[in-house]
């Protein structure tokens, strides 16, 4: 990273410039501005990789993978990851502020993201230390007599990681650190809105000892250039986090033999039973709905609440939402920041106004704030099931509450959409909890916790249109390897 002068209005200031992170590419003189989603302030400029740079990155990564003598040993990989975790800890404040500035995540939550990312890198060290093969039984019939068989793991090949904006450091760690641990050369493309955390993490890996050609990063202006990465026959594994429309299209363009993991969005349902502890539920529901302004793939979006307690729940939830501090994400007291782009504010508002016109009751919110990129946290009661806000992922600070009389009907409505990710139930009744667990279409069902709860070592999987494969650092590490068997005759 270096400094270059940029003219902003009448003032000339120096902003960081991030050069190419493709090995062997100096510059193609095509740059992209990175601006704060909160106030549009220029944060940095980054070099954009063109088709030639993408080809150079693929050539470099594939050459490394095909040269087995150049593979990084387990001790080398462990050392890189350990040093990277130390460097990240030393720069935690810088990384947190970077997340807040480029992604709009409130600083208090950005600090948590950095802590999780550091822990994720450390977890990869333990995965390398604990990885091994298995013994395959032999000598149990005539054909296997006097034979021995065992397996060990090898890297799957070149890893291409395409990431999203909403967790600009931790998502990259989830996609890239397991590749380092598995011994795969990687090429990572961050979201174009939030490239700085990714580029900084790759620079940290290099500073920690990762040879530059083993970890490359590209920033692209158009989706078609990024598609070149995913569809290339030299790619062994594609890790994609983003919209379903893009993810499923990329999967269809994979070269034969390439594997992939796709993580898309959901419209997360929560069922609140009549016996739920609302004192415990309300703060959790509010956090799950409005964390990062609702820009999380498992945000609480649909709450199905028993009619007997619905008015109390919406009034209390609306009060909490109306009191949230919305504004500058770099302010330590901010609880909800901006949406990533101005046109997303327009879209969210349009969906809300559509629901209100169709008969939804507004409990709170439903309007733009003074800062163009911020939207008031919104609670709606009983929007029609056929509204967009009831059918699609809103990715904004909005939660919809629906009344129900029969628990199984609530489950039916929760399961009615083609997406399926994490779900939750709030109840004090174990039988109700287990009924929800057995009947909700979800990869995870939370009990008395919001749908956005996650630890980085647990499985994290979208079902149906919500994704393919299983995320979570240990599971990604497993997917980025192949199990290779040796069969021999005993002497």
Looking at residue 10, its pLDDT comes to 39
DSSP 216: E
Looking at residue 1, its pLDDT comes to 60
pLDDT category at 25 given cuts 50, 70, 90 is confident
Which of 380, 369, 162 shows the shortest CA–CA distance to 262? 162
Considering only 95-99, 244-248, 273-277, which range has the smallest mean pLDDT? 244-248
d(CA 150, CA 135): 4
| CATH label, 268-455, candidates 3.40.309.10, 3.40.50.720, 3.40.50.300, 1.20.1050.10 | 3.40.309.10
Residues carrying CATH 3.40.605.10, the chain? 2-264+468-486
Cβ-based neighbours of 260, under 8 Å, separated by 6 or more:
237, 238, 239, 240, 250, 251, 254, 468, 469
First to last CA, the chain: 58
260 is a catalytic site residue? no
Considering only 30-39, 63-72, 216-225, which range has the smallest mean pLDDT? 216-225
Mean pLDDT calculated for residue range 113-119 = 98
Does residue 5 carry a pLDDT above 50?
A: no
pLDDT category at 13 given cuts 50, 70, 90 is low
Mean pLDDT calculated for residue range 150-177 = 97
φ and ψ of 292, to 5 deg: 50, 40
Looking at residue 491, its pLDDT comes to 82
Which residue, chain included where needed, has tokens 């990714």? 198
Looking at residue 6, its pLDDT comes to 43
Which of 344, 365, 288 shows the shortest CA–CA distance to 104? 344
Phi-psi region of 294 (alpha: psi -120 to 50; beta: other; left: phi over 0): left
pLDDT category at 221 given cuts 50, 70, 90 is confident
Mean pLDDT calculated for residue range 256-260 = 94
Mean pLDDT calculated for residue range 474-481 = 96
Of 263, 393, 403, 449, which is the active-site residue? 263
Token digits of residue 488: 């021999």
Looking at residue 2, its pLDDT comes to 56
Does residue 12 carry a pLDDT above 50?
A: no
Residues carrying CATH 3.40.309.10, the chain? 268-455
d(CA 415, CA 442): 9
Tally Cβ neighbours within 10 Å of residue 353: 14
Considering only 16-30, 45-59, 149-163, 376-390, which range has the smallest mean pLDDT? 16-30
Token digits of residue 490: 């005993």
Please classify residue 143 by burial: count the beta carbons closer than 10 Å to its beta carbon, then call 0-12 exposed, 13-18 middle and 19+ buried.
exposed
Does residue 436 carry a pLDDT above 80?
A: yes
State pLDDT tens for residues 35-72: 999 999 999 999 999 999 999 999 999 999 999 999 99
* 8 A C-beta contact, residue 209 and residue 83: yes
d(CA 119, CA 116): 5
Considering only 109-123, 134-148, 223-237, 402-416, which range has the smallest mean pLDDT? 223-237
DSSP 372: T
* 8 A C-beta contact, residue 48 and residue 56: no
- Average predicted confidence (pLDDT) for the chain: 94
Does residue 176 carry a pLDDT above 90?
A: yes
φ and ψ of 254, to 5 deg: -60, 145
Looking at residue 427, its pLDDT comes to 98
Please classify residue 415 by burial: count the beta carbons closer than 10 Å to its beta carbon, then call 0-12 exposed, 13-18 middle and 19+ buried.
middle
Of 124, 297, 387, 400, which is the active-site residue? 297
Which of 417, 426, 424, 364 shows the shortest CA–CA distance to 394? 417
**Distance of CA 55 to CAs 71, 206, 221, 269, 277, Å?**
21, 21, 16, 43, 57
Does residue 321 carry a pLDDT above 80?
A: yes
What would the DSSP string read from start to end of 397-455? SEEEEEEESSHHHHHHHHT-SSEE-EEEEE-S-HHHHHHHHHHS--SEEEESS-TT---
Does residue 4 carry a pLDDT above 50?
A: no
Is 439 or 370 the better-scoring residue by pLDDT? 439
Mean pLDDT calculated for residue range 111-130 = 97
Looking at residue 30, its pLDDT comes to 84
d(CA 54, CA 145): 51
323 is a catalytic site residue? no
Looking at residue 341, its pLDDT comes to 95
d(CA 172, CA 175): 5
As a whole-number percent, the residues of the chain with pLDDT over 90 amount to 90
CATH code, residues 2-264+468-486: 3.40.605.10
d(CA 353, CA 422): 27
Does residue 361 carry a pLDDT above 80?
A: yes
Mean pLDDT calculated for residue range 416-439 = 97
Q: What angle do CA 471, 472, 476 make, to 5 degrees?
A: 65
pLDDT category at 319 given cuts 50, 70, 90 is very high
């Amino acid at each position: 990273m270096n400094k270059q002068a940029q003219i902003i209005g009448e003032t000339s200031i120096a902003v960081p410039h991030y050069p190419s992170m493709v090995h062997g590419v100096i510059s193609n003189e095509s740059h992209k501005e990175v601006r704060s989603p909160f106030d549009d302030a220029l944060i940095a400029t980054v070099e954009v990789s063109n088709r030639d740079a993408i080809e150079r990155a693929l050539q470099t990564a594939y050459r490394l993978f095909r040269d087995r003598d150049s593979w990084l040993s387990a001790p080398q990989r462990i050392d890189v990851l350990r040093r990277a975790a130390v460097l990240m800890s030393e720069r935690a404040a810088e990384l947190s502020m970077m997340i807040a500035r480029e992604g709009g995540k409130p600083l208090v939550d950005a600090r948590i993201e950095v802590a999780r990312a550091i822990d994720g890198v450390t977890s990869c060290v333990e995965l390398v230390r604990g990885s091994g093969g298995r013994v395959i039984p032999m000598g149990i019939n005539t054909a296997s007599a006097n034979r021995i068989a065992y397996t060990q793991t090898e890297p799957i090949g070149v890893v291409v990681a395409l990431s999203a904006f909403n967790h600009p450091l931790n998502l990259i760690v989830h996609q890239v650190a397991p590749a380092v641990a598995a011994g795969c050369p990687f090429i990572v493309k961050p979201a174009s809105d939030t490239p700085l955390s990714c580029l900084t993490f790759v620079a940290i890996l290099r500073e920690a000892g990762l040879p530059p050609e083993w970890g490359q990063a590209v920033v692209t202006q158009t989706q078609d250039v990024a598609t070149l990465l995913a569809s290339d026959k030299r790619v062994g594994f594609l890790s994609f986090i983003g919209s379903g429309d893009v993810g499923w299209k990329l999967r269809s363009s994979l070269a034969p033999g390439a594997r992939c993991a796709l993580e898309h969005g959901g419209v997360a349902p929560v069922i609140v039973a009549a016996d739920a502890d609302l004192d415990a539920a309300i703060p959790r529901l509010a956090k799950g709905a409005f964390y990062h302004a609702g820009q999380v793939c498992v945000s609480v979006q649909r709450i199905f609440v028993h009619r007997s307690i619905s008015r109390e729940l919406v009034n209390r939830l609306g009060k909490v939402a109306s009191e949230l501090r919305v504004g500058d994400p770099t302010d330590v007291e901010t609880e909800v920041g901006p949406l990533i782009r101005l046109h997303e504010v327009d879209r969210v508002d349009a969906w809300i106004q559509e629901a209100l016109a169709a008969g939804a009751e507004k409990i709170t919110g439903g309007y733009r704030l003074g800062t163009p990129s911020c939207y008031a946290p919104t609670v709606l009661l009983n929007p029609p099931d056929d509204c967009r806000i009831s059918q699609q992922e809103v990715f904004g600070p909005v939660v919809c509450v629906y009344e129900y009389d029969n628990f199984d009907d609530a489950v039916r409505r929760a399961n009615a959409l083609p997406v399926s990710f994490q779900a939750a139930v709030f109840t004090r009744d174990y039988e109700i909890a287990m009924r929800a667990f057995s009947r909700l279409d979800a990869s995870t069902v939370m009990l008395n916790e919001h749908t956005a709860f996650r630890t980085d070592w647990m499985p994290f999987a979208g079902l149906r249109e919500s994704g393919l494969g299983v995320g979570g650092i240990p599971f990604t590490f497993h997917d980025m390897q192949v199990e290779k068997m040796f069969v021999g005759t005993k002497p």
